[in-house]
Amino acid sequence: MKRAKKKSRISSKSNHRGPVLALVIMAIIALSYAVYRKIDLMRSADREKSIRLILTTLDSYYQSTASKKSDTWWLETAPLPGAESFTLLEARKNKIETMIRESERISDLTKVLSSRFRSVGLGLMVNGEPRQLNKVGSVPTSPTNRIDICIIPKDGPTIHGSAMPYWDPRRELLMIPAINCPDPILKEILFHELGHASRHNALDGNPYYPPTSEAYAAEEVEMHELGGQILDFESKGLYLKRIREVVVRAKNLRSFEKAIGQLNSKDLAYIDALFGCTDLAIPSFQLSSQALLQVGFAWCDEHHLGPKEKIKIYQWFGQNIASVPLN
């Protein structure tokens, strides 16, 4: 009987332990959530602070240099038909063909693109519509290894007000506004768009990716990294050397936002001077955007982070930096 009573007491004690343990677990979960929420709020505050720092740096740099930055166009309006007009545009076409051919040795991707697009078809935006230009009696070349370009004069329409080249997959045209731009910047943007052209055209049959998709962002990361290789080649290694110096400053920072925030006005001025953009506006904007992304990508490499983190950086940049107009 004594043993039976002892067993009963143990059983009674075990029955009380269940509810108590459940209460303890619930308390731990609630505490963990509170701690996690506090950490998450702190991280959000840090992210907002980093974004403000980057935007303040850009505002400060471009406000301080606004008086000396301006752009010029080599073609103000669509020229009248004639030999003189064709000669002007033909010279630009020849320059682009040479640029493509001579860039073959920069990287594996430029080699592929230089082989894919060996000739350039010439066009001009007239009254909002692209017009193909050919010499009288000439036979159009096969589109297999040709990239068709359309020159947009200053008074011509551009998508989203863009004054830099872009690939139009609907028309299968590389649209090139006739803004004067240093050759290294033109080459960097040209190959960026050639990369898109090689992926999205009727001949190769590649699909169009929605701008919000991960595939779209992954392709943009690849093309921006190609742009960095081209700028580094054109500057004989000085461009990425400066980017690495910024990453060294950020070596103890644990987020890409804080790392990108280490890029300062002196860095922007140095990079502008490196490529002859000190007195230019739109090419300088292009360089600063490239540099901000480049710091983020280099920080990922330094911390052995993969493509997913770079995609995250590109998407973050589009949502928080590129979409915010400078004051």
Is residue 226 domain-shared with residue 300, that is, in the same domain? yes
Q: How many CA atoms lie within 13 A of 51 on its CB side?
A: 16
The answer to whether residue 280 is domain-embedded is: yes
Is 59 found in the same domain as 157?
no
Please give the residue that has the higher pLDDT: either 279 or 79: 279
pLDDT at 5 over 80: no
The 10s digit of each residue's pLDDT in 81-116 is: 666 677 888 888 899 999 999 999 999 999 999 999
Distance CA 32, CA 40 (A): 12
Element (H, E) at 100: helix 83-102
Query: Does some domain include residue 46?
Result: no
- Would you say residue 280 has pLDDT above 80? yes
100 in the same domain as 64: no
248 and 164 inside one domain: no
Do residues 142 and 166 both lie within one domain? yes
222 in the same domain as 272 = yes
Establish if 308 belongs to a structural domain. yes
State the pLDDT at residue 143: 61
Q: Sorting pLDDT into bands at 50, 70 and 90, what band is 203?
A: confident
Residues 137 and 231 reside in one and the same domain:
no
Mean pLDDT of 212-235: 95
pLDDT, tens digit (0-9, with 9 covering 90-100), for 113-155 = 999 998 898 888 887 788 877 655 444 555 678 899 988 888 8
Structural domain total, the chain: 2
Structural domain of residue 255, as residue ranges? 53-71+208-320
Confidence of residue 77 (pLDDT cuts 50, 70, 90): confident
Q: Is residue 196 part of a domain?
A: no
Q: How far apart are CA 112 and CA 185, in angstroms?
A: 20
- Examine the domain organization and report whether 213 and 304 are in the same domain: yes
Predicted pLDDT of residue 64: 92
The pTM (predicted TM-score) of the whole model is 0.82
Among 162, 181, 200, identify where a domain stops.
181
pLDDT at 263 over 50: yes
Pairing of strands 119-126, 146-152: parallel
Mean pLDDT of the chain: 83
Tokens 């921006």, located at residue: 224
Q: Is the pLDDT of residue 284 over 80?
A: yes
Does residue 96 lie in a domain region?
yes
Cα(165)–Cα(86) distance, integer angstroms: 21
First to last CA, the chain: 89
Same domain, 67 and 87: no
**Alpha-carbon distances, residue 79 vs 51, 88, 140, 203 (angstroms):** 44, 10, 22, 32
The pLDDT of residue 35: 43
Give the tokens for residue 200: 């999205």
Q: Are 255 and 47 in contact (CB under 8 A)?
A: yes
Q: Select from 315, 283, 263 the least CA-distant residue to 56.
A: 263
Residue 199, domain member (yes or no) = no
Residues 281-301, mean pLDDT to the nearest whole number: 95
Residues 274 and 220 in one domain: yes
**DSSP H or E stretch at residue 1:** none
Q: Look at residue 191 and tell me if it is in a domain.
A: no
pLDDT for the residue numbered 29: 58
Across the range 152-173, mean pLDDT stands at 77
pLDDT of residue 140: 53
Each residue's pLDDT tens digit, 31-65: 554 444 433 434 567 788 889 999 999 999 999 98
Check whether 235 has a pLDDT greater than 50: yes
Q: What is the mean pLDDT of residues 253-280?
A: 95
Pairing, β 129-132 against β 166-168: unpaired
What is the three-class DSSP state of 95? Answer: helix
Residue 206: which pLDDT band, with cuts at 50, 70 and 90? Answer: confident
Please give the DSSP secondary-structure letter assigned to residue 208: P
Specify the amino acid at residue 304: H
- End position of a domain, from candidates 181, 199, 218: 181
Q: Averaged over 2-27, what is the pLDDT?
A: 53
Same domain? For 213 and 316 the reply is yes
- Domain termination site, one of 181, 199, 221: 181
Torsion sign (Cα): 296, 317, 207, 143: negative
- Do 244 and 303 lie in one domain? The reply is yes
| In-domain check, residue 248 | yes
Q: Per-residue pLDDT tens for 169-196? A: 888 899 988 999 999 999 999 999 999 9
